[in-house]
Amino acid sequence: MNLNSRIIQFTALIFSFGYIIYKIKNREKLTNAEMVLVLIFLGGYVFHILWEAKSRYIIGYHLALFPLAFMGLTIFSNYILEFIEKRKGIKNRIK
């Protein structure tokens, strides 16, 4: 696996887990679609780790990872915007 693939995988994992932790920390209720994505990814990953299956079978579960990563990236960018707004005193917010 080349370096670019590893960077993309690592970034997707970080933002996905960041999104899940954000939802748990703020005690926000997961929608049904979000819950399905989380269960598909975590359930499939744990299943294949416990049964020591070949790692190539985990690739299918990464499809559920990308929507979660996008939601995590959105939350992260909103935190950055809030930080900039507080620092500069900007009132208008882009959504």
Number of domains in the chain: 1
pTM over 0.85: no
**Distance between CA atoms of residues 41 and 58, nearest Å:** 9
Is 30's pLDDT higher than 80? Answer: no
- Residue 66 host element (H or E): helix 62-88
Q: How many CB atoms lie within 10 A of CB 68?
A: 23
Q: Is position 66 within any domain?
A: yes
Q: What is the dihedral of CA 18, 24, 29, 32, to 10 degrees?
A: 60
Q: Is position 93 within any domain?
A: no
**Distance between CA atoms of residues 21 and 38, nearest Å:** 11
Range of the domain at 45: 3-88
CB 72 within 8 A of CB 19: yes
pLDDT in tens, 31-84: 888 888 888 878 877 787 777 767 677 677 777 788 888 988 998 999 898 888
Q: 92: pLDDT confidence band, cut at 50, 70 and 90?
A: low
